[in-house]
Amino acid sequence: MLKLLLREPLVHFLLLGGAFFLVFGRGGPDTTRDNRQIMVSEAEIDRLVSAFAQTWHRSPGADELQAQINDYIREEVLYRTALKLGLDKDDMIVRRRLRQKMEFTFEDTVPPPQEAELRAYLAEHADKFRTQPLISFRQVFVSLSRGGAAETDAQRILTQLASATPGASDLGDTLLLGEGFNQTPLDRIAASFGNEFASALVRAPAGRWVGPLRSSYGLHLVLVTEVQPAALPPFEQVKAAVEREWFAERRAAALAAQYRALLADYQVTVEKPAASP
């Protein structure tokens, strides 16, 4: 019987009305004039005009502005009423948004850095900002589809390549990645051929054929023609990236410090879950 009653719209209306009565009834805590006054300030109107112009690329007309003001009043009424009814409680979306706003507030306490601070940060974290090594190389691919002959064939082709035998580079198999790579960043090489191949390629001497190097595709005979080692660019070239990293670290530190200060005002108790029978 109770379940049937709870499904009735009239019952829902009466329950909601009762909640409103408890919140707004005579003698309630939030019935003062100040709590019931909504002031649409000049600054708020300017904000509404700016938001309208940003969306529509023009200023609002009189009727449009009045509609914006009416919508703001409606939002404020419903927002205050929702708070009085406690609708913000136990709402994960609201909790996360409020946490987010608090964290943004803490992060905004970090003042902009001086150039000297950025230069010092760059010197201390130089590895973060070094360029990738750039490697130019050629490769002859030997597919594992050759079975047990793959290793033997690779060594035979390597010997012919080393002695500059004409047509030796044509003895390999086709690989869609191509045969020549020019000034390719090491991380891109690793993404294409795998970390094992990239590490071996870095150690390979320039100017002579070596191998076979292994990848997930098969065996590779490689000739490194040029290596541009990793380098630290001038400060002016990486200043923006350094500033981003500096801010990220300082904001994280500020957030952690503010949280510890707030946590000190609370006594936290974590109940242990009941033991399973």
Residue owning tokens 């943004």: 104
Tell me, what amino acid is at 144? L
Q: Where in the chain is the domain with CATH 3.10.50.40?
A: 131-228
Sign of the four-CA dihedral 57, 60, 64, 70: positive
CATH number of 131-228: 3.10.50.40
pTM recorded for the entire structure: 0.53
For every one of its 277 residues, what pLDDT tens digit does the chain have, with 9 covering 90 and above?
A: 444 444 444 444 444 444 444 444 443 334 444 567 889 999 999 999 999 999 999 999 999 999 999 999 998 888 888 888 888 887 888 888 888 888 888 877 888 889 899 999 998 898 888 888 888 998 888 888 777 788 888 888 888 887 776 666 677 778 888 888 888 888 888 888 888 888 888 888 888 888 788 888 888 988 898 888 888 888 988 899 999 999 999 888 888 888 898 888 888 888 887 765 5
